[in-house]
Chains A and B, each alone.
Chain A
Amino acid sequence: MLAAKLPTALAGKLSSRCCRLVSTLVLAEHDEVSLNPITLNAVSAASKLGDITVLVGGKNVKKIAEEAAKVENVKKVLVAQDKKLEGQLPEYMTNVVMAAQDQYKFDSIVASASSFSRGLIPRVAAKYNSSPISDIISIIDGNTFIRPIYAGNALCKVRTKAPLKLLTVRTTAFPPANLKGGNATIGDVTNYRFPEYAPEFVKQEIVKSERPDLLSAKVVVSGGRGLGSTEKFKLIYNLADKLNAAVGASRAAVDAGYVPNDLQVGQTGKIVSPQLYIAVGISGAIQHLAGMKDSKVIVAINKDPEAPIFQVADYGLRADLFKALPELIQAL
């Protein structure tokens, strides 16, 4: 009896495996209040790879799971809700992702490049002995991707033979998926155990802002060392208000303490590509250009005619920013 059953079971398993679509797990990013829109860019990238399942982990995430279930092209949403997932520390989230992976055997795991995914994706990768690929800007096929190296001064086309593909995608390189149109089923991730060494999430201090988010803003106004002080940096905020823009900064402005570090645009800060990027009092070091040179239109206002920022600017204004900015604010 048993012997007769076995081949059928095996055949069933095999056929389901060969007919199974290529499947992708997208890690949702959220703050326990709402789905972070950068998740939509990851979904849109993942839709080039196969059927999409979204994983939502956190302390209180039922509402976020419902939001994710409505996103276009999402077939399934997996939920892991646990007190210990507060702050979604990678040590805990890794085990949740592994439980989902071991149950559903995804071909790839994708997230938008952010502090969250950068902490988590490579840690998961180690568990599957797989080389992850960071910050892809283009998907050629299921195994071939393009990513920038050397602060965006070269593009590298790579082919992976990793047993599990773990990818972070550059948000600005993929349009967001539609927030509506999906009708995914919602299920729970089960069978995860948390590690014993238990790191503790102490607190999170988020810089509150009424302005559009840097990563998704259509217009970004950035200030550099040329502003000279925190007080004078207000000129940047005033201009941003006129344009409904997000505010960015160069490393020099952050280091000088004019603005908090999460406003930094560049190789090691945020990568933005808005419709309009206005760089004020920024010389344009390689590391800053890496974060903004894919913007559609770039404006540079600087009094140094030799500033490298002018080499990438569509429109350059050689002027004292303390004269030009008030004029600009006035005229808009």
Chain B
Amino acid sequence: MKTSLYHQLLQVMRILVGVKRVIDYVVKVRVKPDKTGVIKENVQHSMNPFDEIALEEAVRLKEKKIASEIIAMSCGPTKSQEVLRTALAKGADRAIHIEVDDVKAENLEPIHIAKLLSKMAVEEKVDLIFVGKQAIDDDANQTGQLTAGFLDWPQAMFVSKVEPEANGEIDGGHEVHRLKLPAVLSADLRLNEPRYATLPNIMKAKKKPLVKKKPSDYGVELEPQIEVLEVTEPPPRKAGIFVDDVSALIAKLKERGVIA
């Protein structure tokens, strides 16, 4: 009985997916000499890998006819539209770009995105918000939880399976939660393998709607609460040495006192 009710809800499910443009995960980032941040100019950017996974899961739910519409959103400077076009090419139906200038974009905090997501979810009447579990630039791992908090919706974080029972990754194993929609989910790496956007789909994506909005359109102010004082390189490790064989290795480890 419970299950059938769940399915009824699922059939009209509208999904809002948050996607972030970040420095590509293969890039070795460099800190700016003036310590104000990391060098982003002329550096390869792409969609945050966890957001790709969240989007992929949403698209699969649509392919199973469980979801009716997928809205992709991103907040940032004009270039954020690149990741929204990618999202459209991978299967999102339409996109909303919340445009902010470069200075504001630098000072965005997860709490700001969460406020935008929660306002947008109400306005667009979505049943599910799906985000990546963390962005690989700020490594905050907060947006999904904050959004659920603002909306007072249940949350399932670090999800590795949606079926309709969400299976969340935790330390030491995994947990199964059953929750009612509307809800907020965040995707773990294990959830799926995102598809590539094909050329025909990239072409089609150019015709899909991408609407530009401002934070004020949702009544959200991006008041920073956290000031970045300094960004520095982590202390470098002392260069190591190669040892010739296992016995030399053991001798060195005994010398350092890390094995008996």
CB distance from A37 to the nearest CB of B (A): 12
Given contacts A116-B170, A276-B259, A316-B241, list 4 more A-B pairs with CB under 8 A.
Answer: A119-B157, A120-B145, A150-B137, A310-B242
**Does B169 make an interface contact (CB < 8 A)?**
yes
Complex CA gap A114/B170 in Å reads 8
CB atoms of A270 and B171 under 8 A apart: yes
Complex CA gap A148/B253 in Å reads 29
The interface on chain B, measured as residues whose beta carbon lies within 8 A of the other chain's beta carbons, has a size of 80
Given contacts A158-B226, A275-B258, contact A286 B25 (CB under 8 A): yes
Inter-chain contacts of B156 with A (CB < 8 A): 199
Inter-chain contacts of A286 with B (CB < 8 A): 25-26, 28
CB distance from B125 to the nearest CB of A (A): 17
**Does B123 make an interface contact (CB < 8 A)?**
no
Q: Which of B68-76, B106-114, B209-217 forms contacts with chain A?
A: B106-114
CB distance from A5 to the nearest CB of B (A): 39
Complex CA gap A204/B234 in Å reads 37
Given contacts A119-B145, A126-B149, contact A204 B173 (CB under 8 A): yes
Inter-chain contacts of B114 with A (CB < 8 A): 126
CB atoms of A160 and B226 under 8 A apart: yes
**Does B231 make an interface contact (CB < 8 A)?**
yes
**Does B200 make an interface contact (CB < 8 A)?**
no
CB atoms of A131 and B110 under 8 A apart: yes
Beta-carbon nearest neighbor of A195 in chain B: B152
Complex CA gap A134/B28 in Å reads 22
B105-141 contact mask (Cβ, 8 Å, vs A): 1 or 0: 0000111001000000000000000000110111111
Given contacts A90-B145, A116-B170, A158-B229, contact A327 B246 (CB under 8 A): yes
Residues of B within 8 A of A (CB): 23, 25-26, 28-29, 31, 38, 50, 109-111, 114, 133-134, 136-150, 152-158, 160, 165, 168-180, 188-190, 225-234, 237-238, 240-243, 245-247, 249-250, 252-253, 256, 258-259
Inter-chain contacts of B26 with A (CB < 8 A): 286
Beta-carbon nearest neighbor of A118 in chain B: B141
Given contacts A251-B189, A331-B247, contact A318 B110 (CB under 8 A): no
Complex CA gap A158/B134 in Å reads 19
Inter-chain contacts of A158 with B (CB < 8 A): 226-229
Beta-carbon nearest neighbor of A135 in chain B: B139
CB atoms of A150 and B136 under 8 A apart: yes
Inter-chain contacts of B247 with A (CB < 8 A): 331
Inter-chain contacts of B249 with A (CB < 8 A): 299, 315, 317, 328
CB atoms of B136 and A159 under 8 A apart: no
CB atoms of B174 and A315 under 8 A apart: no
CB atoms of B242 and A318 under 8 A apart: yes
CB distance from B23 to the nearest CB of A (A): 7
Partner of B169, one of A201, A261, A324: A261
CB distance from A177 to the nearest CB of B (A): 20
Most buried by A among B154, B171, B180, B245: B171
Partner of B139, one of A144, A149, A260, A317: A149
Give the number of residue pairs across the A-B interface with Cβ within 8 Å: 251
CB atoms of B240 and A125 under 8 A apart: no
**Does A188 make an interface contact (CB < 8 A)?**
no
Inter-chain contacts of B145 with A (CB < 8 A): 90, 118-123, 125-126
Given contacts A115-B158, A315-B252, contact A160 B136 (CB under 8 A): no
Chosen A-B contacts, 27 in total, with CB atoms closer than 8 Å, are: A90-B157, A115-B157, A119-B158, A132-B110, A134-B142, A148-B234, A150-B136, A154-B231, A157-B228, A157-B229, A158-B228, A161-B225, A161-B226, A161-B227, A197-B152, A205-B174, A206-B172, A260-B173, A261-B169, A268-B50, A286-B26, A298-B237, A314-B238, A314-B240, A315-B249, A316-B241, A319-B246
CB atoms of B165 and A293 under 8 A apart: no
Residues of A within 8 A of B (CB): 87, 89-91, 94, 114-116, 118-127, 129-135, 144, 148-162, 195, 197-207, 215, 219, 243, 251, 260-262, 267-268, 270, 275-276, 286-287, 293, 296-299, 310, 312-319, 324, 327-328, 331-332
Inter-chain contacts of A126 with B (CB < 8 A): 111, 114, 145-150
Inter-chain contacts of A202 with B (CB < 8 A): 165, 175-178
CB distance from B173 to the nearest CB of A (A): 4
Complex CA gap A316/B225 in Å reads 44
Partner of B189, one of A154, A268, A318: A268
CB atoms of A317 and B245 under 8 A apart: yes
Most buried by B among A124, A270, A314: A314
CB atoms of A298 and B240 under 8 A apart: yes
CB distance from B48 to the nearest CB of A (A): 12
Complex CA gap A161/B25 in Å reads 31
Beta-carbon nearest neighbor of A323 in chain B: B246
CB distance from B241 to the nearest CB of A (A): 6
Beta-carbon nearest neighbor of B246 in chain A: A327
Complex CA gap A310/B241 in Å reads 9
